[in-house]
Structure 1
Amino acid sequence: MGVGVSGKSVGARVGRGTLWVVLIGFGLLFLYPFVWLLSASLKPREQVFDNLLIPRTIRWENYAEVWEQLPLLSWMVNSVLIAILAAGLVAVSSSLVAFGFAQFRFPGRGLLFGIVLATMMLPGAVTMVPQYLIWKNLGVLGTWIPLFGANLFGSAFYIFLQRQFFLSLPRDLFEAARLDGASAWGLFWRIAMPLSIPSFVIVFLFEFQASWNNLQQGLIYLNAGSVEGFTVPLGISYAMSTFSPTGGGHGDYQFVMVAALIVTLPMLLLFSIGQRSFIDGVATQGLKG
């Protein structure tokens, strides 16, 4: 009997050890690009692409000179403001639409919700030209508006996500509020919204990241403007072409590496702040005891 228990104990320890080895291995694998970027950002120009994780020559001056070589601060401010507007608008508008689909009964609700979900089947290339023509006719090309304006109308994916969250909330809460004379807006703002903070944070984080990394829209709507008006992805793309020897540069890619490393910090900070709500939203799906 003791041998059996001991065998199980050894097997459990071996399995746990194997799991840790696999997890650490994958962790190092995913961490490698970041370590390489950090190393490259500290190297002089001629050593940037030597693939050594420990630089032969450490050049801290790169982090001071990048602000003189590139309008990095302007790019970051632009991207932060645009991402906040885009994430905030889509989170609020999607929540409103999702609450309507989750809590109210009306003719054609299922069909209308199906049409909303069907829009996710459309490739982005299909809507790119019509959206451009709309913004062109509105006279807002070269401004920030096209980068967040469409989020006023919600997102099919976020509407679906929020609807599933609202459906998990007890309907008795809303029925009791109706008996107390709460309006439709009161049901959303006083009951649904406070309980849906975790899912709201998830939507906000997802859209903030999508906006922060969106190079395509910057290329379409901002590329003709001033360099200071660029977003972070467009700015780094501009820096790559500017420093390229084929573009008349001297190959100063160390500044691109520094810029790329610095612009990851806002996303790391945002996810660290919203981590608790993110985990609660995924794990509990909005159920509060």
Structure 2
Amino acid sequence: MTKTTHPLLKVLMYLLLIVGSVFMVFPFIWMLSTSLKTVGAISQMPPQLIPNPMNWDNYMTIWNKIDFGRYTMNSFFIVSIEMVGSLVSSAFVAFGLAMFTFRLRGLIYMIMLATLMIPSQVTMIPTYFIWKEFGALNSYYPLIVPSFLGGAFGIFLMHQFIKSLPKELYESATIDGCSPPGIFFKIYLPLCKPALAALGVFTFMGAWNNTLGPLIYLQDKELYTLPLGLLYLKSENVNQALLMAGAVITTLPVVLVYLFAQKQFVQGIASTGMKG
């Protein structure tokens, strides 16, 4: 017998959710509003939520004169390669840990998970000097190459999903003469779409919003990513409207990716906890 929720309690819950949603969305609305204002309208009292007139020239200025077009292309280039590297390497390592039995498998898996507890600040300086010895400073290599080596979080996410799949799939494919790489690419990888979508969203958000990495390794303005371009814009003391226009351009791709991949993202997160 299921308990029914009192109508008044349900109304209060919806009101609470609506108020919370307004508080969450309002900063983004204000950012968009400010990006469309003229310099004089920014300090106008009382403030305008809907600018009149709307100054779309802020976006043209930020895109062309301040080179945000180049920064956007740089960000998309880095993120695309990082997503490919992270998804393929994490899924491949997770498949091996989930399907094969070998000595010290459990220990290797635990050590891999233990790296999640190491703050990135601890390895930042030694990693910098390693890349310096390779002569890879002021290039994209320090940002891209690590994604092809697998990440602890991505491996864990994919490992949990693969473990939830019936092992009979692997056994049947082996009896039919399929090799382990063939089983991975032809059977397991297509079945892992929900988990790959979830990992893809996490990877995209992490790579797109990465500010510290480009700040450490990139010196030439032509190589800047969007977050670094936004920092440069702030250091130039431009007006707030241009700064908000840059923030909108930086934020919009993340919002769009999550909206389009929301269903697969939630499904992938939910399914990774089915089996330990």
TM-score normalized with structure 2 length: 0.91
CA distance in 1, matches of 2:265, 2:186: 21
> Is 1:268 aligned to residue 255 of structure 2?
yes
Residue 142 of structure 1: CA displacement?
A: 0.6
CA distance in 1, matches of 2:270, 2:128: 39
Partner SS for 2:6: helix
Q: Is the 8 A contact 2:71 2:226 kept in 1?
A: yes
Q: Is the 8 A contact 1:199 1:286 kept in 2?
A: no
Aligned to 1:233: 227
Q: Is the 8 A contact 1:94 1:155 kept in 2?
A: yes
From 20, 28, 31, the equivalent of 1:34 is 28
Aligned to 1:64: 60
CA distance in 2, matches of 1:121, 1:269: 31
Aligned pairs for 1:188-199 within 5 A: 188-199=184-195
> Is 1:21 aligned to residue 8 of structure 2?
no
Aligned to 1:91: 87
Which amino acid letter does the alignment assign opposite residue 75 of structure 1? Y
1:96-125 superposed Cα distances (whole Å, 9 cap, x missing partner): 111111111001000111111111111111
> Is 1:145 aligned to residue 141 of structure 2?
yes
Q: Is the 8 A contact 1:44 1:59 kept in 2?
A: yes
Q: Which structure has the greater CA radius of gyration?
A: 1
Identity of aligned residues (%): 38
Task: For structure 1, list consecutive stretches of 5 or more residues without a partner in the other structure.
Answer: 1-7, 245-250
From 90, 101, 104, the equivalent of 1:108 is 104
Greater alpha carbon shift after TM alignment, 266-275 vs 229-238 = 266-275
Aligned pairs for 1:168-247 within 5 A: 168-222=164-218, 224-225=219-220, 227-242=221-236, 244=237
Partner SS for 1:107: coil
CA distance in 2, matches of 1:149, 1:155: 12
1:66-92 superposed Cα distances (whole Å, 9 cap, x missing partner): 224310110000001101111210111
1:196-227 superposed Cα distances (whole Å, 9 cap, x missing partner): 011011111101110110110111011x21x2
From 153, 163, 183, the equivalent of 2:159 is 163
Which amino acid letter does the alignment assign opposite residue 249 of structure 2? I
Root-mean-square deviation (Å): 1.9
| 1:49 to 1:196, Cα distance in 2 relative to 1, 3 A | farther
CA distance in 1, matches of 2:73, 2:99: 39
From 223, 228, 239, the equivalent of 1:252 is 239
CA distance in 1, matches of 2:72, 2:56: 21
Partner SS for 1:181: coil
CA distance in 2, matches of 1:196, 1:178: 19
Which amino acid letter does the alignment assign opposite residue 252 of structure 2? L
Task: For structure 2, list consecutive stretches of 5 or more residues without a partner in the other structure.
Answer: none
| 1:23 to 1:187, Cα distance in 2 relative to 1, 3 A | same
Q: Is the 8 A contact 2:34 2:244 kept in 1?
A: yes
CA distance in 2, matches of 1:211, 1:68: 24
Q: Is the 8 A contact 1:43 1:55 kept in 2?
A: yes
Which amino acid letter does the alignment assign opposite residue 49 of structure 2? L
Q: Is the 8 A contact 1:169 1:286 kept in 2?
A: no
Greater alpha carbon shift after TM alignment, 53-62 vs 213-222 = 53-62
Q: Is the 8 A contact 2:79 2:207 kept in 1?
A: yes
Q: Is the 8 A contact 1:195 1:286 kept in 2?
A: no
CA distance in 2, matches of 1:195, 1:142: 39
> Is 1:12 aligned to residue 6 of structure 2?
yes
Aligned to 2:264: 277
CA distance in 1, matches of 2:68, 2:106: 47
CA distance in 1, matches of 2:40, 2:223: 30
4+ runs deviating over 4 angstroms: 49-52
